[in-house]
Amino acid sequence: MFILPNVFEGGSRPLCELELCLLRLSHDPANPWLLLIPKRPQITEICQLSEADQGLLVKEISFASNLLLKEFAPDKINVGALGNMVPTLHVHVIARYRNDRAWPGPIWGTQVPPNPAELDQIERRLKKLLAEIIK
């Protein structure tokens, strides 16, 4: 049985549950940042997923990417699965802008303190869009 590690609770907000993954909003208001967390226990690497689940993961990465493209019009979408700090398999899907704090470098390690009001607004926008898509 999959149990969401506590570290995700402290650093992200739930948006919805997809077929394979939990979709969560990371606490970074400057760059809308989604997390996809496969609901599979003891999986740390993409290659440990079944072939069917690997296909679903790619589909859900595309879904999350399209959410960000549609709602926030970023210049680029960054996708990554590092796992150095949190070993549970999770994929970052991040909206990037040419004028963001780290462009053109990696965004990791440059987070700013969360602004609850800005996060609330981003969460509302994404949940509204999700409600329109997932009926």
pLDDT in tens, 88-111: 999 999 999 999 999 999 998 887
The answer to whether 93 and 36 are in contact (CB under 8 A) is yes
Please indicate, yes or no, if residue 1 is contained in any of the structural domains: no
Chain segment 37-94, per-residue pLDDT in tens? 999 999 999 999 999 999 999 999 999 999 999 999 999 999 999 988 889 999 999 9
Please indicate, yes or no, if residue 12 is contained in any of the structural domains: yes
Please indicate, yes or no, if residue 86 is contained in any of the structural domains: yes
> Given pLDDT bands bounded at 50, 70 and 90, which one contains residue 121?
very high
pTM: 0.93
More confident residue, 112 or 96: 96
Residue 117 CA to residue 135 CA, distance in Å, equals 27
Domains identified in the chain, total number: 1
Residue 77 CA to residue 60 CA, distance in Å, equals 14
C-alpha torsion sign, points 29, 30, 32, 35: negative
The answer to whether 33 and 93 are in contact (CB under 8 A) is yes
**CA neighbor of 74 nearest in space, from 61, 89, 93, 60:** 93
Please indicate, yes or no, if residue 30 is contained in any of the structural domains: yes
What does R_g of the chain's alpha carbons equal in angstroms? Answer: 14
> Given pLDDT bands bounded at 50, 70 and 90, which one contains residue 28?
confident
For residue 135, pLDDT over 70 is answered with: no
More confident residue, 113 or 53: 53
Domain that residue 95 falls in: 6-133
Q: What angle do CA 100, 105, 107 make, to 5 degrees?
A: 60
Q: What is the CATH number of the domain that holds 38?
A: 3.30.428.10
Please indicate, yes or no, if residue 60 is contained in any of the structural domains: yes
